[in-house]
Amino acid sequence: MSRKWRIVVGSDDAGLAYKEALKHDLEADGRVARVIDVGVHPEGTTDYPHVAVAAARLIKEGKADRALLVCGTGLGVAISANKVPGIRAVTAHDGYSVERAVKSNNAQVLCFGQRVIGLELARRLAAEWLGYSFDPTSNSARKVDAISTYEVVREDATDEASLLESEALASSC
């Protein structure tokens, strides 16, 4: 049996129409166990950073597996979600980027821009996204681990990240 995802959806008012359509699609998809809507809701307005961070925190806290966020461009929600340590959010408007975001980068958050991508393409990409999983034994795993070393707040981790960065620069010369 395949995994059943717990998905957070969120948007600002510029992405509300797509968020509502994608939420409906996710709720009808048998691969989804639960959809958690962090807003914005039709009767309100919320700036995208608040929605994106709320969604990312649910993933970090283990209350959700992934998030699908929409704003005007998909960029603001991605930047905001990435402020939560351990979260990897991407904006992707094509199938290859959506696939690689999960398979190569273990991105938990997919962001769309309602002013950038057509609704039918967004629906197709969201459906494809549910079928992708990260392989922790892949060659990409060590790269994702390297990204994570830059997020650690301890001084020794900063030193470790600096050392890794120095080694990478030295080997590229």
71: annotated active-site residue: yes
Against a cut of 0.85, is the pTM above it?
yes
Q: Tell me, what's the pLDDT at 71?
A: 98
CB 68: neighbour CB atoms within 10 A?
27
Q: Tell me, what's the pLDDT at 42?
A: 87
Q: Tell me, what's the pLDDT at 164?
A: 63
**Under-70 pLDDT residues of the chain:** 1, 153-173
Q: Tell me, what's the pLDDT at 3?
A: 84
Catalytic, out of 71, 90, 107, 117? 71
